Structure 1
Amino acid sequence: MKYSIFAMTLSASAMLAGCATTQGESAEGVAPTSATAVLLAADGSSRGEARVTEASDGLHVMVDAKGLTPGMHAVHVHGTGNCTPPDFTSAGGHWNPSGRQHGRDNPAGMHMGDMPNMIAGADGSGQMEYVIPGARLGSGGMPMLDADGAAIVIHAQADDNRSDPAGNAGGRVACGVISGG
């Protein structure tokens, strides 16, 4: 009888463990493999969303924005998961765990949070996809989602891809805290 109860308990535990997933999991000790950010303007209105997915080649960042002024906008990963309006400076500087300078065209660059510019069309919407090579969400030596988190920030202007520290990209017009799940 005791053996049967033990066997059933062990079997039930194994079945429950098999139900766990790693994608977006927030259980202690399990790093998420995807995360999202709801992008908001300073007035709290929606500016779209971003999704970050971990893959073997790095982090795949997909931004789907709306309500922007038509034209080119810088999009960066910032090093603090805080988007306090109106200027979103609470998101800190660009995510830069390796201590480099800013910009793809800077010989001493680039930050891990530096990404290509995004074009917003006449209707104010824009999309971009980018892979941050070798980056990880919540694991490894320099995870994006460290103790103070991270945010996606859309700037008012284009990034010149060389000026340190922020590429002369202008003010922050949208911000979203990146969270696993």
Structure 2
Amino acid sequence: MFARNHSGAATGTSTTRVLAVLAAAGAAGAVLAGCTPDQYPTDEKGTTPPVITGDQARPGDEVNAGTTSGGVEELTVTLRNTDGGSIGTATFTTEGEAVNVNLRVAGIAPGSHGVHIHSVGKCEASNGFASAGDHLQVDGHTGKPESGDLASVTVLQNGTGTVTSTTDAFALEQIQGKALVVHEVGDTDGSHRLACGVIAE
């Protein structure tokens, strides 16, 4: 029934095995071709199609548009009275072309307290904070209100007060290292300085 080779072994079995191997190889090739549409297997190194994810910049696009680097983004200050005790804090942040000021105080006399940025970053309690100098003026400004004039803070009967205001009279870089002063109630000439703090990052 089967032809025999010189060794006497049947050749039909060998032929059947060869056909089976070829059929399996063809099926594997079909599977590979079906797994990756429009892509073809290759033995050449470095020819695998690249995988690209996320938004891709087109030629001429500005990368990271709207972001900024460097510069001052926020300044803070702790206010202390002539005894060295903390009576409040203030935070200065940039909002567009303006500066937001958020001031909180506690443990001081009720009423309206003037709040100003002064030109010198020194808060010496021994001279009643006169070391802070006069109100800040920037860019050659000489008129009223002065650059450093901020919204007054109204302190309640429980001794606490909060005020948030916005100003375009200065930039953060122009007040860094200057002094923030809270005046006593009814201080009209700026000589009665209740608390002081140097503005820092």
Please report the TM-score for the alignment, with normalisation by the length of structure 2: 0.60
Unpaired runs of at least 5, structure 1: 1-20, 24-29, 102-107, 160-166
State the 1:69 CA deviation: 0.6
Q: Which has the larger radius of gyration?
A: 2
Residue correspondences, number: 134
Once residues 100 and 171 of structure 1 are traced to their aligned partners in structure 2, the CA distance between those partners, rounded to angstroms, is 24
Shift of residue 99 of structure 1? 4.4
Q: 1:96-150 CA deviation, whole Å, 9 max, x = no partner?
A: 114445xxxxxx4121111122111111111111112152112xxxx222xxx21
- 2:168 maps to 133
Alignment of 1:30-41 (within 5 A): 30-41=70-81
Q: Does 1:57 align with 2:57?
A: no
What is the 5 A alignment of 1:69-80?
69-80=109-120
Matches within 5 A, 1:94-133: 94-101=135-142, 108-133=143-168
**The structure with more helix, counted as a fraction of residues:** 2
**Is this contact kept in 2: 1:41–1:174, CA < 8 A?**
yes
1:32–1:22 CA distance, 2 compared to 1 (3 A): farther
- Measured against aligned partners, the alpha-carbon deviations of 1:128-174 in whole angstroms (never above 9, x if no partner) come to 11112152112xxxx222xxx21111000246xxxxxxx53450001
Residues 31, 156 of structure 1: alpha-carbon distance in 2 compared, 3 angstrom cutoff:
same
Q: Aligned-residue CA RMSD in angstroms? A: 2.2
> What's the CA shift for 1:39?
0.7
Partner of residue 46 from structure 1, selected from 77, 86, 108 = 86
TM-score normalised to the size of structure 1? 0.67
Contact 2:180 2:197 survives alignment (8 Å): yes
Q: CA deviation at 1:92?
A: 1.1
Q: Which structure is higher in RCO with an 8 Å CA cutoff and minimum separation 6?
A: 1
Gaps of 5+ in 2: 1-66
Q: Which runs of at least 4 in structure 1 moved beyond 3 Å after TM superposition?
A: 98-101
